[in-house]
Amino acid sequence: MAPLALAKVLATAGLALSAVGAFLLFRFGLPFRNRTGGEQILWTGGYDAETAAAERRADRLGWAGFLIGIAGVGLQIAAVWVA
């Protein structure tokens, strides 16, 4: 594959990954925000397993979005170096 064609493929893949990462971050939030762990903010002595599971899922998808975005930027940088 010619260097220019490879650069276009890398740049396009990088943009796509960055877009997916940004979507995940906007949808599920930053992974290092404060989570309640299923406990209510106003203390009532209760624990909500469903809320805790949703927060763990959002945390994992937030980290995935962050890392996918970083990978996208890395591919865009690689495209510049290849071109």
Q: What is the pLDDT of residue 48?
A: 76
Instruction: State the Cα–Cα distance between residues 32 and 35, nearest whole angstrom.
Output: 8
Instruction: State the Cα–Cα distance between residues 6 and 60, nearest whole angstrom.
Output: 32
30-79 per-position pLDDT tens digit:
876 666 665 666 666 667 788 778 888 988 999 999 999 999 999 999 99
Number of domains comprising the chain: 1
Q: What is the pLDDT of residue 29?
A: 83
Note if the pTM is more than 0.85: no
Q: What is the pLDDT of residue 15?
A: 96
Q: Which domain holds residue 70?
A: 3-82
Contact 1, 52 (CB under 8 A): no
Contact 82, 18 (CB under 8 A): no
